[in-house]
Structure 1
Amino acid sequence: MLSTDTLSSFVPENQFTGVDTFSFEELGLSPVRETPDDVGTTTRGRGKGQGKAMGSSSRTVAEEEDDEETGKRTGLVRTPSPVIALQITLFAGQGICIGITNHHAVADGSSIVNFVKSWGRANRSGDDEAFHQAVGRHLPVLDRNLVEDHGKLDSIAWKFVRNRNPNLDFSPSLVEFPINRVRSTLLLTKNQVQNLKNHVYANTPNSRDVSSFTVISAYAWICALRSETSSEDDEEEIVYFSLAADCRGRLNPPLPESYFGNCLVFVRAGARRGSLKKKGGFLIAVESIREATQRILQSDRGVVESADWPLDFRKNSGQCVVSVAGSPRFDVYEADFGWGKPRKQEFVHLDRQRSISLCKSRDFEGAFEIGLSRNKAEMDIFERVFGDPNMALE
């Protein structure tokens, strides 16, 4: 299996035989150096089939203007640890699987999804003219100078890094995944999401517009808490729901949607476990998530001035936290390499965390996929609560 953050599979028109796996280097993408503008590797299976994996990269590490000078200024030394890696696996007679893992210093989820979709457009474009027509306006914007922070973010980031890793040891470590987990992908239709919103409007005086993201997250948070199997949970304990909010459009001046990098702020909502598990808990969850998001994104100080959130992130350690990966705006199923829609997207890191994933549905307009990984006992309860709104909302 691929130890990756995002896993997408595609079924091509021609059938492959044999299974070949390509490392980052074999695809011509160095994890620590600049790569050629255009990289193409023709791959052959062990039988009659063949396929082609194509990609391009301009730089895959933080953009130091001068390695030696940067090292003197920051004390940072280059290590063999890659900050982004891709793996493509061909399955005999079935299709291919693309695995991507990356450090958030390089790119956030929006950047990676746009990269994969642009890659797909490039793969099916045919010639240079068709490529520019298909990809031109979607090309990533890499200019870090567009973010005006007067050194504040650099200072906060380095404080965060040195607190967590004072020796600046970035040696790669083996990631172990639990084996006692089962996975499930659940669906909320457009009508079901609207029903959740209507429930908020009907039961919250003077309620304002509530987003799909907020009601979906609150619903999943309630389902997660009510599927806990421990009988020793403290009902007075503050439990949390965390998310990463895109702030490209909230900077001054705003960043283009195609900005490739990390442009997120950390948001953490909290409430008493007992209040969330009792009747009306869903409404409390909605208000908690909405208030926490507005506190960060609509701060009078601005997003950048409120960017001490990396230090708050450490407060999650040892606490009961449900987090969400992805967004209702993510539509990786648009990534057509010329073979049609991907069959499935998975966030592999869910197996190591109490997270859920969220993205647009592959097959149903206006619907959303919610992915999770739990032990069998918790999963059975989660699915039962998720499938019965009366149980989750009352």
Structure 2
Amino acid sequence: MAVKIVESGSISPSSGAAAEHTLPLLYFDLIWLDFVLTETLHFYPLKCSESRFLDTVIVSLKHSLSITLKHFFPLASKIIFPLTSAAMPVSRYTAGDSLSLTIATSDDDFSHVVSNRPKAADDFHQLIAQMPAAVYSSDDIKFSAFAIQLTLFPNQGICIGFTHHHSICDATTLSAFLHTWASINKSNGGEQLHQLPFYGRNSVQDSNKLTIAHWNIVKTNRPTVSLTPPSPSDKVRATFHLSNAQIERLRRWVAIKKPSIGRPSTFVVVCAYLWSCLAKSEVGNDDETQYLCSPVNCRGRLDPPLPENYFGNCSIQLIAASSHGRLKENEGFVAAAEAVAEAVNIAVKSSRVSEFYENRSEILSKLKGKRVVWVAGSTKVDQYGADYGWGRAAKYECVHTDFNGAVHLCKGRQGGIEMGFSMPKAKLFFFASVFNKNLFINCNL
């Protein structure tokens, strides 16, 4: 894949944005300061020449993006990481601030890029927006929160690439931004907003105590600012799909074998099937405890609850545990479902949020050196529905999983759930054979 940069610039919020706004980073946000930058790609089929792309499509996207940023201005802000003991990290927007916008073209085969079949992982990194360099001083480090790259595959399609610093917001907030931008672009600049972001911080459960405690833990580590690890030349990316009908059959099988679970959620069924197939495809000690970890949106589970349009991060880590021996057995899927369902029941309790964050470092330190399946994304987030006027996206890729080994979940383009993987080729092919074989067995019982 050869990608050519056509233009490098920036976009500021349109008139009407706050002249200045400071948003404190709370304990939900601070834990992501040294996390790898999140990198995602949305592909849209569109028969478009380069001249039309530059003269019409880009002009419209820039205009609608500027309007959208008026409401999501922290994405154009600078995150300030203080180097003095008295200050706390914040996101600060000042009139004139902007986010980086890169325009590019690619000569690759769009149909190949958007397919679910395995593709070289490092090819996708050319489609990712690069963050501007951070600014260092004796008092603080200032760095960007967000960057975008728009890449045309001439007469084939468009890729919208996002790079964002996780400490500014989570997938729920990012999805709201994405759908708002698409809606404004589709309506030719009309501000048809369903729900504006909520920036309130005063009512977040146990905020002062937990924010100070976590800042004392993370302030000795420098934040991730613009650099990402080298692209993984040994990995391939592929997407696996569970249809609604397959999920329902798996759900019924769990209900029959473990009626005590009740009717398992889509999240439980998908994570359990994923986890058990990974265990079956890997060699391990039968007595070894294995884990599955996933973020869970807890906006509505705090006391008092936060609105779903709360801007920022608000999640708790779900941790399920089982043995390798149980997971690889014929009934491994059911055992995994039981473990994930139990972990969900623990995580959704409002008292659990404070308990988890009070002991987060100790809890996660116990996972070091263990075999862990890290899940990113959510079975509830729709990565395909944002329509800029070209219809639904053809493909979604969560590229930063190349670096942290997580499996990404999201709603499928045509229903069901998608699972995005980045693995060495031989390992992926072996997993695929297990995934398909067990799907045939479990969905035909």
TM-score (norm 1): 0.80
Picking from 144, 148, 168, the partner of 2:205 is 148
Count, aligned residues: 352
Match of 1:74 in 2: 87
Q: Which deviates further from its counterpart, 307-316 or 275-284?
A: 307-316
SS at match of 1:342: coil
Deviation (angstroms), 1:107: 0.6
Is contact 1:227–1:379 with CA below 8 Å preserved after alignment? no
C-alpha distance in 1 between matches for 2:81 and 2:59: 41
Deviation (angstroms), 1:277: 0.9
Match of 1:389 in 2: 438
Match of 1:370 in 2: 419
Deviations 1:154-210 (A, max 9, x none): 033214314xxx254655434122212222211111111111111111111433221
Picking from 108, 123, 126, the partner of 2:170 is 108
1:306 aligned to 2:356?
Answer: yes
Match of 2:113 in 1: none
Deviation (angstroms), 1:253: 2.1
CA 1:69–1:361: 2 relative to 1, 3 Å: closer
CA 1:184–1:331: 2 relative to 1, 3 Å: same
1:261 aligned to 2:297?
Answer: no
CA 1:277–1:343: 2 relative to 1, 3 Å: same
C-alpha distance in 1 between matches for 2:41 and 2:321: 30
Query: What residue identity is the alignment partner of 1:295?
Result: I
Identity of aligned residues (%): 32
Greater share of residues in strand: 2
Equivalent residues in 2 for 1:1-394 (5 A)? 5-12=39-46, 15-17=48-50, 44=54, 51-54=59-62, 55=65, 56=69, 57-60=72-75, 71=84, 73-74=86-87, 77-127=139-189, 130-131=190-191, 134-135=192-193, 137-162=194-219, 166=220, 168=222, 172-228=226-282, 230=283, 233-298=284-349, 301-308=351-358, 310-311=360-361, 312-363=363-414, 365=415, 367-389=416-438
SS at match of 1:53: helix
Query: What residue identity is the alignment partner of 1:83?
Result: A
Deviations 1:110-130 (A, max 9, x none): 111111111101111235xx4
Deviation (angstroms), 1:4: 5.1
RMSD over aligned Cα atoms: 3.0
Is contact 1:357–1:370 with CA below 8 Å preserved after alignment? yes
C-alpha distance in 1 between matches for 2:403 and 2:215: 26
TM-score (norm 2): 0.71
SS at match of 1:322: strand
Is contact 1:386–1:392 with CA below 8 Å preserved after alignment? no
Deviations 1:257-285 (A, max 9, x none): 11111000011111111121123211221
Deviation (angstroms), 1:251: 1.2
Deviations 1:62-88 (A, max 9, x none): 899xx7999552376432433332222
Unmatched segments (≥5 aa) in structure 1: 19-41
CA 1:356–1:245: 2 relative to 1, 3 Å: same
SS at match of 2:330: coil
CA 1:373–1:320: 2 relative to 1, 3 Å: same
CA 1:75–1:206: 2 relative to 1, 3 Å: closer
C-alpha distance in 2 between matches for 1:68 and 1:213: 35
Query: What residue identity is the alignment partner of 1:73?
Result: A
SS at match of 1:88: strand
